[in-house]
Amino acid sequence: MSFTAAVPVVPAALRPLPSGPSGAAAAYWESPAPYCLQTSLRILVRGKQDPTIRLGDGVAWLAFLTPEGPATLNLREEPVPAPGARIQARAWGPGARCALASVPDLLGEKDDWSGFDDEDFRAGLPRMVRETRRRNLSLRLPSTGRIMDSLIPVVLEQKVTVLEAYYAWRYLVTRYGTDAPGPAPAGMKAAPAPQTWRRIPSWDWHKARVDHSRSTTILRACSLASGLERLAGVPLGENLTSKLCSVPGIGAWSAAEITQRTHGAPDSVSVGDYHLAAYVGAALTGRRTDDAGMLKLLEPWRGHRQRVVRMIMLSGYRKPVYGPKLAPMDHRRR
């Protein structure tokens, strides 16, 4: 089967539209390349009941705080001739203007796959990765530019099961977040502001099943929030990683998970993940491996290692399971 590389991204200004329903600020974003909201934004979702985002077929709702206040953002795919894409964006609330301004980066306008799709580079990729890329030309890596909204759920995921982390995020955001403005789906909330996170009493951290180590890291980061948010403007590289890791409790794994979402990091690998190394090793060689082995396997594709990992994940590959799963821990009586 033939492979057609993605059309290089042509940056285009977000085009304003007349006010939409319910007084929404509105605009649209166009691309000459294919685009899929569900595939591209899935990395931002923290479980099916994440109160900050609702993602469906061709539509996304997001609620978040901006420097001008809370905002609800609705993104919707519109039919256009192939291979292009057009996304209509509508926003409500005091932060509507900021929310619309964030749309191009959020949709991955600056995410350039041309090097990955280069014929010579592609020839050296595993067949699984090549085939998955051929079927997913509409994937872009999003850049939210919101450090704290990525940092806090990443910390909640440290050394616990995904289900535990998702429960904690849902519980705390539902209880302390800001109601999403406008006609958002029922139950949607913007994540709390740093000062609100700092006021959460110890018993609610326990009810959320969050241990002292993770809650302390979150509170410490919230005390540094203004400086951390400025890192959204720092380019990808060791300087950014070292600044994130200067916060006690934020290590290499957390920094990678944060920048994958805030900066659309194409080379960021989550070293230290409980499952990832074994999964990548099994997918590429048929054998489980550790972090060092994973990095060795991915080294030929440095600069695009996160893209390779995403393609493996999208391939549908499932590694053989041996032994028991990591058991959830209940911190409420500790």
What integer pLDDT is reported at residue 214 of this predicted model? 98
pLDDT in tens, 294-306: 999 999 999 999 9
In this structure, the number of other CB atoms found within 10 A of the CB of residue 12 comes to 13
Average pLDDT over residues 6-28: 63
Check whether 7 has a pLDDT greater than 70: no
Task: Name the least confident of 56-70, 179-193, 234-248, 319-333.
Answer: 319-333
Average pLDDT over residues 142-159: 98
What integer pLDDT is reported at residue 42 of this predicted model? 97
List where CATH 3.30.310 sits in the chain: 15-114
Check whether 101 has a pLDDT greater than 90: yes
Check whether 12 has a pLDDT greater than 80: no
Average pLDDT over residues 141-154: 98
C-beta separation of 115 from 5 below 8 A? no
Check whether 3 has a pLDDT greater than 80: no
CA distance 234 to 39: 26
For residue 86, the surrounding DSSP H or E stretch is strand 85-92
For residue 331, name the pLDDT band (cuts at 50, 70, 90).
low
C-beta separation of 261 from 144 below 8 A? yes
Check whether 237 has a pLDDT greater than 80: yes
From the candidate CATH numbers 1.10.1060.10, 1.10.10.10, 1.10.340.30, 1.10.760.10, the one assigned to the domain spanning 147-248: 1.10.340.30
For residue 111, name the pLDDT band (cuts at 50, 70, 90).
very high
What integer pLDDT is reported at residue 326 of this predicted model? 56
CATH class of 15-114: alpha beta
Average pLDDT over residues 70-87: 95
Q: What are phi and psi of 15, to 5 degrees?
A: -90, 125
What integer pLDDT is reported at residue 24 of this predicted model? 86
CA distance 290 to 299: 14
Check whether 29 has a pLDDT greater than 80: yes
What share of the chain has pLDDT > 70, as a percent? 90
Identify the three-state secondary structure at position 243: helix
For residue 292, what are its two tokens?
Answer: 């060092």
What integer pLDDT is reported at residue 6 of this predicted model? 37
**pTM attached to this predicted model:** 0.91
My answer on whether omega of the bond before 83 falls inside 30° of 0, hence cis, is: yes
- Identity (one letter) of the amino acid at 73? L
* Burial environment of residue 282 by CB neighbours within 10 A (0 to 12, 13 to 18, 19 or more): middle
What integer pLDDT is reported at residue 123 of this predicted model? 97
Q: Which residue has the higher pLDDT, 137 or 330?
A: 137
List where CATH 1.10.340.30 sits in the chain: 147-248
CA distance 227 to 234: 11
pLDDT in tens, 254-292: 999 999 999 999 999 999 998 999 999 999 999 999 999
Average pLDDT over residues 16-43: 87
